[in-house]
């Protein structure tokens, strides 16, 4: 039995049947990381002591016959923008190279309380700004399916870790597609709940009104199990919703027959032919499963990227002001006064993309430009959200490609920020509208080297259950299941 | 209190100053505005801190309801319109004691707007407009002095970071430094009554900036204004405004124009000076704070706070004049702080002697407190203790003169009046027989003066009273002494 290949229910049954201990499961992952992560570079920091301590705790529970918590012994990786008490958290930025947080993010706390074992922190684009994990201050992560290619981003490390069996599940963050796009590129399942569904407390802010924490796993059921654990109201996050969390796992087995699924033409116009082909097959499968396929309109989609890169950068310019070298993080040496200390610290500590976004964001908020950019973008955002509300009057979910292109080669797009930004074209809308989204594997491209394609499902506010249900039925129908 | 009018009355006839104040008031909540840390003043540096007020990565603000309640009290007492929906906004700037690189404040959609503060100016009632009242967080404190390595390092204390403030902005309705002083005094009194702040300028819980301009009297439009900062006492406010108004008039008279700028008051040099433009040329890039939901104030919340407002200063003054027969001046002084008014009412009720209580409080008690640089909340003489003293004086057991001495002793030892009297044998002698004995001794010892009185020189009587008082070390009741002398000496008539 390959302990790194197990799903969460399989881990549970291995533990309860005493076929494996939690410690063995964790060690198997640590060994695999040792073997494979040199080339993949999914992890920035490992926390074996913490994982093993939790595993032994679980093994004691097993030995004593006590009931096991829902994620007992599940090895999990955490994107390095999510705080872990006592474990270095860098946000893949040199400016936080030495930063050890004094507290855990709420999501991390909930995972551990549910018995999960935290293996370590995964690589990403610096402060989650990017779509390829190439913007990491510690070097890129490679796609486990093709080492020359990017794993997507910004949560590329988490997606790659799950895909390469270096973790059973992982947490990522999604601001403009940073969970769903790498999930698609690495042929895993990745989900972002409704804005407010999962507490952001302890998620290092990139763009507060768009940031989400969400899970990666190799099956929809595992994603549902992790989401159920981390979702729900947190008094430490004023924007977390006080809305009951349904049993996502129970929802998986409901019928999809008769569910109305919308296909927005705006997301398919001019689409890469191979991706379009896979998506069509995916939609056909949904129809065969009994879903009603309808065409819908999301007319403001074309403004989404522009709107997103104004709002996200505006908030980022403010959120990243605290990295000034005064209280924590790395302070540059060789300054003569305060101003120079700020300038040197931030100039040396931040990478090019982060600086570009801080400058963009500072510009769009500055006096004389605020109305033309930030305020206008907020209005567009309202219209985009209204598009979804109107579409969801006719359908229960919307299906789209996750990414307009398959995984590209490392270095291929890094010199053209605009091309890179356009990678997010199908994912940013859900962040802007605050609706939930999931990406499930949807086969591989026909041509060599047969790269993974992801299908995105978007749903109504707080209706994660329908998305999980549809994605699960799609996955179980088998045609495009992960690893096939 | 006016410093200005005498010095420059001539130019003031030509120019009219226009002043608006921006007042920051620290709220008396137990915990900070966005976290559970204590707001206690004077604790060791960086002891009341957490990830939120340190601005650590990943931390998020959660609004303290108590701070909103207090801000609403202030806004309602200032007759403001409460906005049912207001928003927090980020004010972005870099400073080492601002841990997030932005201050959470309110900008386009403040908590409350369009209020007014009623004042008496020169005996006439005037209403000064309140533009807005909004909530915000305080920054930390940079400590540039007092450490062995202060020449090369600055220290930062973040205990104050996240302490709740309200900013109250007045309309430019004030027209002299004296009016500005009175406005600020009024505002402070009001906040003390509401119990929302201790308004202690030394500890920084009341801070004030002023927008100042001058224009020719009768001119329709406003002159160019300057913003004067660093006014950390009531006295500085008046001095700085006087200086700044005179400076602006001088510039205009000399044919110059006023530069719109921020100027700092330098209390050592007694002048304002302009800050280099770099220091204040901020573009704060305000935008709505995405980490907090819009602040919604329900009608019922607002009304329940309105109902809970205490008796406000002007109403209390009117009631005290009516109820205790106090004069306008006395009532005004006694209602200057709620603690003083409470103290007075307690003394007046316990002694049953309102006017006498007022005299003693505003006279000897305040004198002794001022001498010790204390205010009424720190008085060593409790209201009950003072009431006892007032009663003793009222019923003639001791003289006013003795009362003064006893009060001094009460201040020094903390003892009650009755205790001090017993220990020092300070009972007033009102017994006619006892007084008569001393009176006879005094007449016998001063036959010449006694004779003068009998021949019609009535003024001599008071000299003789003095002698009796001297002989009794002030303990005799002067009224009784006078009666006894008249009786013993017989009629006074010209020969």
pLDDT in tens, B199-246: 988 888 999 999 999 998 888 888 889 998 878 888 889 999 999 999
The count of domains in chain B is: 3
In a domain, residue B128? The reply is yes
Contact of B91 with chain A, judged by CB distance below 8 Å, is answered with no
The domains located in chain A, with CATH, are: 8-250 (3.90.1300.10)
In a domain, residue B238? The reply is no
In a domain, residue B275? The reply is no
Please report the pLDDT score of residue B332 as a whole number.
87
- DSSP H stretches of helix in A256-336: 273-288, 304-319
The DSSP output letter for B432 is: H
Contact predicate A192/A79, CB 8 Å = no
Percent of chain A with pLDDT over 90: 94
In a domain, residue B243? The reply is no
The answer, yes or no, to whether residue B8 has pLDDT greater than 70, is: no
Pairing status of strand A397-401 against strand A260-264 = parallel
Please report the pLDDT score of residue B261 as a whole number.
85
Question: Containing domain of residue B286, as a range?
Answer: 21-215+280-301
Locus of tokens 């309860």: A16
In a domain, residue B266? The reply is no
The mean pLDDT value for B109-131 works out to 89
Give the integer Cα–Cα distance in Å for A225 and A431.
Answer: 22
Nearest CA in chain A to B142: A326
How does the average pLDDT of chain A come out, rounded? 96
Chain B 30-49, residues with CB within 8 Å of chain A CB atoms: none
Nearest CA in chain A to B93: A321
- DSSP H stretches of helix in B195-281: 234-253, 277-280
Instruction: Examine the domain organization and report whether B128 and B181 are in the same domain.
Output: yes
| Facing residue for A322 by CB, picked from B100, B287, B293 | B100
Instruction: Examine the domain organization and report whether B477 and B416 are in the same domain.
Output: no
Contact A322 B57 (CB under 8 A): yes
The DSSP output letter for B442 is: H
What phi and psi values does residue A132 have, to the nearest 5 degrees? Answer: -150, -5
Instruction: Examine the domain organization and report whether B99 and B184 are in the same domain.
Output: yes
How does the average pLDDT of chain B come out, rounded? 88
Contact predicate A83/A101, CB 8 Å = yes
The answer, yes or no, to whether residue B318 has pLDDT greater than 70, is: yes
The neighbour count for residue A27, using CB atoms within 10 Å, is 17
Out of B268, B301, B334, a domain closes at: B301
Establish whether the linkage from the previous residue to A154 is cis, with ω within 30° of 0. Answer: yes
**C-alpha triplet B282, B283, B284: angle, nearest 5°:** 95
Give the integer Cα–Cα distance in Å for B139 and B93.
Answer: 12
The answer, yes or no, to whether residue B434 has pLDDT greater than 80, is: no
Please report the pLDDT score of residue A414 as a whole number.
86
The mean pLDDT value for B73-87 works out to 97
Pairing status of strand A75-79 against strand A117-122 = parallel
In a domain, residue B8? The reply is no
The answer, yes or no, to whether residue A388 has pLDDT greater than 80, is: yes
Instruction: Examine the domain organization and report whether B358 and B374 are in the same domain.
Output: yes
| Facing residue for A314 by CB, picked from B99, B156, B287 | B287
Contact of A202 with chain B, judged by CB distance below 8 Å, is answered with yes
Instruction: Tell which residue, A23, A82, A69, A83, has the closest CA to residue A48.
Output: A23
What DSSP assignment string belongs to A341-403? HHHHHHHHHS-HHHHHHHHHHHHHHSTTTTIIIIIHHHHHHHHHHHHHHHHTTT-SEEEEES-
**Nearest CA-CA distance, residue B215 and chain A, Å:** 29
Contact B55 A367 (CB under 8 A): no
**Nearest CA-CA distance, residue A125 and chain B, Å:** 17
Enter the ipTM.
Answer: 0.95
Instruction: Examine the domain organization and report whether B321 and B463 are in the same domain.
Output: no
Out of B424, B450, B476, a domain closes at: B424
> B455: helix, coil or strand?
coil
CA A360 to chain centroid, in Å, comes to 24
Instruction: Examine the domain organization and report whether B191 and B322 are in the same domain.
Output: no
Estimate the share of chain A in helix, then strand, then coil, as percent rounded to the nearest 5.
Answer: 40, 15, 45
| Facing residue for A236 by CB, picked from B56, B60, B94 | B60
What DSSP assignment string belongs to A31-48? HHHHHHHHHH--EEEE-H
The mean pLDDT value for B76-91 works out to 97
CATH number, domain of B482, equals: 1.10.10.410
Instruction: Tell which residue, B166, B110, B101, has the closest CA to residue B288.
Output: B110
Instruction: Examine the domain organization and report whether B288 and B324 are in the same domain.
Output: no
Q: Which residues in chain B have their CB less than 8 angstroms from residue A327's CB?
A: 54-55, 99, 156
Q: Which residues of A336-362 are buried (b: 16+ CB within 10 A; e: fewer)?
A: eeeeebbebbbeebbbebbeebbebbb
Strand spans (E) along A93-193: 117-122, 169-174, 189-192
What phi and psi values does residue B75 have, to the nearest 5 degrees? Answer: -65, -40
Instruction: Examine the domain organization and report whether B436 and B352 are in the same domain.
Output: no
Give the integer Cα–Cα distance in Å for A318 and A358.
Answer: 8
Q: pLDDT-derived band of residue B466, with 50, 70 and 90 as boundaries?
A: confident
In a domain, residue B244? The reply is no
In a domain, residue B105? The reply is yes
The answer, yes or no, to whether residue B427 has pLDDT greater than 80, is: no
Contact predicate B115/B190, CB 8 Å = no
Q: Which residues in chain B have their CB less than 8 angstroms from residue A89's CB?
A: 57
pLDDT tens digit sequence for A173-185: 999 999 999 999 9
**Nearest CA-CA distance, residue B135 and chain A, Å:** 17
Q: pLDDT-derived band of residue A257, with 50, 70 and 90 as boundaries?
A: very high
Q: pLDDT-derived band of residue B415, with 50, 70 and 90 as boundaries?
A: confident
Contact of A235 with chain B, judged by CB distance below 8 Å, is answered with yes
The answer, yes or no, to whether residue B278 has pLDDT greater than 70, is: no
Give the integer Cα–Cα distance in Å for A143 and A444.
Answer: 14
Angstrom CA distances, A426 to A208, A269, A283, stand at: 20, 12, 17
Q: Active-site positions of A?
A: 79, 154, 178
Out of B424, B459, B475, a domain closes at: B424
The answer, yes or no, to whether residue B12 has pLDDT greater than 80, is: no
Instruction: Examine the domain organization and report whether B479 and B410 are in the same domain.
Output: no
Instruction: Examine the domain organization and report whether B473 and B359 are in the same domain.
Output: no
Instruction: Examine the domain organization and report whether B154 and B28 are in the same domain.
Output: yes
Instruction: Examine the domain organization and report whether B296 and B318 are in the same domain.
Output: no
Please report the pLDDT score of residue B102 as a whole number.
97
Q: Which of A238, A370, A434 to mutate to test the interface with B (most CBs of B within 10 A)?
A: A238
């Amino acid at each position: 039995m390959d302990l790194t290949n197990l799903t969460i229910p399989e881990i549970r049954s291995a533990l309860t049947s005493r076929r494996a201990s939690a410690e063995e499961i964790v060690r198997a992952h640590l060994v695999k990381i040792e073997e494979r992560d040199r080339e993949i570079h999914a992890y920035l920091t490992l926390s074996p002591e913490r994982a093993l301590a939790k595993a032994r705790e679980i093994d004691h529970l097993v030995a004593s016959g006590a009931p096991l918590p829902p994620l007992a012994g599940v090895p999990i990786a955490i994107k390095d923008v999510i705080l872990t008490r006592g474990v270095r958290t860098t946000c893949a930025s040199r400016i936080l190279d030495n930063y050890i947080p004094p507290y855990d993010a709420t999501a991390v706390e909930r995972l551990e309380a549910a018995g999960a074992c935290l293996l370590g922190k995964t690589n990403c684009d610096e402060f989650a700004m990017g779509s390829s994990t190439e913007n990491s201050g510690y070097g890129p992560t490679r796609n486990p399916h093709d080492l020359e290619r990017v794993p997507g981003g910004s949560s590329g490390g988490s997606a790659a870790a799950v895909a390469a069996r270096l973790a059973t599940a992982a947490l990522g963050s999604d601001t403009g597609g940073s969970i769903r796009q790498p999930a698609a590129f690495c042929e895993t399942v990745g989900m972002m709940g409704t804005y407010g569904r999962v507490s952001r407390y302890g998620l290092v802010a990139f763009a507060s009104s768009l940031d989400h924490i969400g899970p990666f796993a190799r099956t929809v059921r595992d994603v549902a199990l992790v989401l159920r654990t981390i979702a729900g109201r947190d008094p430490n996050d004023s924007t977390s919703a006080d809305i009951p969390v349904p049993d996502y796992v129970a929802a998986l087995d409901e019928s999809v027959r008769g569910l109305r699924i919308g296909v927005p033409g705006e997301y398919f116009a001019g689409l890469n032919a191979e991706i379009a082909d896979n998506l069509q097959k995916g939609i056909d499968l949904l129809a065969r499963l009994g879903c009603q396929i309808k065409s819908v309109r999301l007319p403001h989609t074309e403004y989404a990227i522009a709107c997103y890169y104004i709002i996200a950068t505006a908030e980022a310019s403010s959120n990243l002001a605290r990295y000034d070298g005064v209280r924590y993080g790395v302070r540059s040496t060789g300054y003569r006064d305060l101003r120079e200390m700020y300038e040197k610290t931030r100039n040396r500590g931040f990478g090019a993309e982060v600086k570009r976004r801080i400058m963009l964001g500072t510009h769009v908020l500055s006096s004389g430009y605020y109305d033309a950019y930030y305020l206008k973008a907020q209005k567009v955002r309202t219209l985009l959200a209204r598009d979804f509300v109107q579409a969801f009057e006719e359908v229960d979910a919307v299906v789209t490609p996750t990414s307009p292109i398959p995984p590209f080669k490392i270095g291929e797009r890094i010199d053209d920020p605009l091309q890179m930004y356009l990678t997010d074209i199908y994912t940013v809308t859900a962040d802007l509208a605050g609706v939930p989204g999931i990406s499930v594997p949807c086969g591989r491209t026909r041509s060599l080297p047969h790269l993974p394609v992801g299908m995105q499902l978007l749903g109504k506010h707080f209706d994660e259950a329908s998305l999980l249900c549809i994605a699960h039925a799609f996955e179980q129908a088998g045609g495009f299941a992960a690893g096939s | 209190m006016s410093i200005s009018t005498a010095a420059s009355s001539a130019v003031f006839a030509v120019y009219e100053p226009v002043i608006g104040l921006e007042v920051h008031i620290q709220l008396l909540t137990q915990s900070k505005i966005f976290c559970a840390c204590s707001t206690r003043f004077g604790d060791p540096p960086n002891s009341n801190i957490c990830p939120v007020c340190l601005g650590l990565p990943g931390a998020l603000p959660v609004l303290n309801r108590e701070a909103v309640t207090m801000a609403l009290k202030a806004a309602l007492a200032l007759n403001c319109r409460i906005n049912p929906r207001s928003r927090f906004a980020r004010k972005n700037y870099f400073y080492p004691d601002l841990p997030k690189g932005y201050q959470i404040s309110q900008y386009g959609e403040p908590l409350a707007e369009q209020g007014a503060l009623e004042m008496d100016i020169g005996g006439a009632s005037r209403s000064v407009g309140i533009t807005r009242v909004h909530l915000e967080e305080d920054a930390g404190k940079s400590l540039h002095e007092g450490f062995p390595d202060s020449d090369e390092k600055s220290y930062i204390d973040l205990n104050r970071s996240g302490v709740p403030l309200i900013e109250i902005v007045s309309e430019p309705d004030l027209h002299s430094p004296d009016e500005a002083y009175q406005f600020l005094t009024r505002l402070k009194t009001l906040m003390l009554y509401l119990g929302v702040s201790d308004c202690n300028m030394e500890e920084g819980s009341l801070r004030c900036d002023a927008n100042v301009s001058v224009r020719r009297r009768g001119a329709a439009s406003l002159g160019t204004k300057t913003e004067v900062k660093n006014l950390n006492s009531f006295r500085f406010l008046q001095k700085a405004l006087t200086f700044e108004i005179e400076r602006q008039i001088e510039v205009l008279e000399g044919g110059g124009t006023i530069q719109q700028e921020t100027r700092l008051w330098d209390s050592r040099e007694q002048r304002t000076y302009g800050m280099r433009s770099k220091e204040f040329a901020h573009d704060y890039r305000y935008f709505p704070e995405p980490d907090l939901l819009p602040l919604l104030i329900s009608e019922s919340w607002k009304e329940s706070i309105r109902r809970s407002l205490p008796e406000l200063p002007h109403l209390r003054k009117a009631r005290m004049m009516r109820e205790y027969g106090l004069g306008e001046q006395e009532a005004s002084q006694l209602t200057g702080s709620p603690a003083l008014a409470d103290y007075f009412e307690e003394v007046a009720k316990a002694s049953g002697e309102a006017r006498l209580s007022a005299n003693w409080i505003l006279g000897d008690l305040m004198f002794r407190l001022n001498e010790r640089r204390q205010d009424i909340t720190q008085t060593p003489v409790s209201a009950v203790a003072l009431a006892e003293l007032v009663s003793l004086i009222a019923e003639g057991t001791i003289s006013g003169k003795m009362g003064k001495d006893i009060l001094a002793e009460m201040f020094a030892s903390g003892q009650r009046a009755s205790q001090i009297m017993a220990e020092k044998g300070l009972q007033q002698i009102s017994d006619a027989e006892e007084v008569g004995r001393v009176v006879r001794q005094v007449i016998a010892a001063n036959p010449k003066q006694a004779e003068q009185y009998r021949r019609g020189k009535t003024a001599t009587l008071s000299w003789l009273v003095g002698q009796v008082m001297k002989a009794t070390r002030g303990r005799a009741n002067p009224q009784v002494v006078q009666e006894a002398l008249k009786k013993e000496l017989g009629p006074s008539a010209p020969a």
